[in-house]
Amino acid sequence: MQRKSSPSFVLTESVLRRRRFAAAHYNLEDTLTSGQTFRWRNIHGHWTGVVRDHWLQITGDSGGLAVATTHPAPNWPLLKRYFQTEVDIDRITGSFPPDPPLQRAVAACRGLRLLRQDPWECLASFLLSSTKRITQISQIVERLCRHYGTPLPVHAGYPPSWSFPSAATIAERSETQLRELKMGYRAPWLLAAGRTVTNGLLDLESLGRMTVADAERRLIQLPGVGPKIAHCVLLFAYGEPNAFPVDVWINRALKTFYFPGSNPSPAELKSFAARHFAPYPGYAQQYLFHYLRVKTSAETETAARSNPPPTPRPR
DNA sequence: CACCAGGCAGCCG
DNA sequence: CGGCTGCATGGT
């Protein structure tokens, strides 16, 4: 790497390569903080993160995204695919049913997008997510990258950064080594997933060509992967619009807003969501999830926690 | 200190 | 199916 003339304590300063991705109404902050990805930080007023082996600095403005990377030969098509800037988000939210909670979520999170992430990173990250808060998932993922990822060049003044460790790298670790990263009982799950992907028993590439049901069946064969995590992977890595992860927040929201007073089974909730939110249940889920988790303070929080009085039924 | 967190596995009826 | 419990760890 070339040494440039700059403050004496800066040994290397990476060249930034830049490009703009045009997009109408790209809500970068909500997209990067809505719990679909765990590696983005706002540093010096810019969003910085990693996509594959690209260290990135992103700025969102009214016309789209300004993308800067230290990668010497950026894979721009890959990055563009990751950010999904070509998606007409207003058309998607415009297709949502006109019920109050969902429309409130759209109004509060306008421009929130779904990313198209690397399947292995997505699978591994969500394997680590069970009964953890998003901030803690981020911390575990960060430790995983710091210990077992590959260091990446970063722009001057930014903290060091690493790629997400490959399945093969994880497969070579021991359960003890993984437990040292404070992932607890999830360590054997991550190890097993790394081994299964590395030895070819699970071909992540082929999942994209299967039906949702088939891909889900394959994913939940992995220990620690159930319906919720499988659907996160199908939605966030494969862009499956019918994927619909049901976590505690969504479960609470569906019961509160759409089944007040009754006690629907998981199967009922699943079929209702597929029908009611079609043709984009995955996007609707993400809007509801992010809205309920961070855009509301007192009202919905308390309403959703304590078995609430029946709310007006949306039509 | 009790309780919960973008769940899941194992077990029981 | 449906319900219950343990699981590591950290925050409120």
pTM of full prediction above 0.85: yes
A305 touches strand C (CB under 7 A): no
Cβ of A132 < 7 Å from strand C?
yes
Give the three-state DSSP class for A261.
coil
CA–CA distance, A14 with A16 (Å, rounded to integer): 6
pLDDT at A14: 83
Strand C proximal to A133 Cβ, under 7 A: yes
Q: Note the pLDDT of residue A261.
A: 86
DSSP-based three-state secondary structure for A143: helix
DSSP notation for A268-303: HHHHHHHHHTTT-HHHHHHHHHHIIIII--SHHHHH
Q: Is the CB of A267 under 7 A from strand C?
A: yes
User: What nucleotides of chain B have any atom within 7 angstroms of a protein Cβ?
Assistant: 4-9
Q: Which residue is nearest to nucleotide C7 (CA to C1')?
A: A185
- The predicted pLDDT at position A7 comes to 43
Assess whether the previous peptide bond of A188 is cis (omega < 30° from 0): no
Alpha-carbon gap, residue A234 to A270, rounded angstroms: 16
Identify the pLDDT of residue A36: 98
A170, containing H or E segment: helix A167-171
Q: What is the pLDDT of residue A9?
A: 42
Per-residue pLDDT of chain A (315 residues; tens, 9 = 90+): 443 444 444 445 689 999 999 999 999 999 999 999 999 999 999 999 999 999 999 999 989 999 999 999 999 999 999 999 999 999 999 999 999 999 999 999 999 999 999 999 999 999 999 999 999 999 999 999 999 999 999 999 999 999 999 999 999 999 999 999 999 999 999 999 999 999 999 999 999 999 999 999 999 999 999 999 999 999 999 999 999 999 999 999 999 999 998 889 988 999 999 999 999 999 999 999 999 999 986 444 444 433 333 333 332
**Residue-level pLDDT at A8:** 40
3-state secondary structure of A264: coil
What pLDDT score was predicted for residue A174? 98
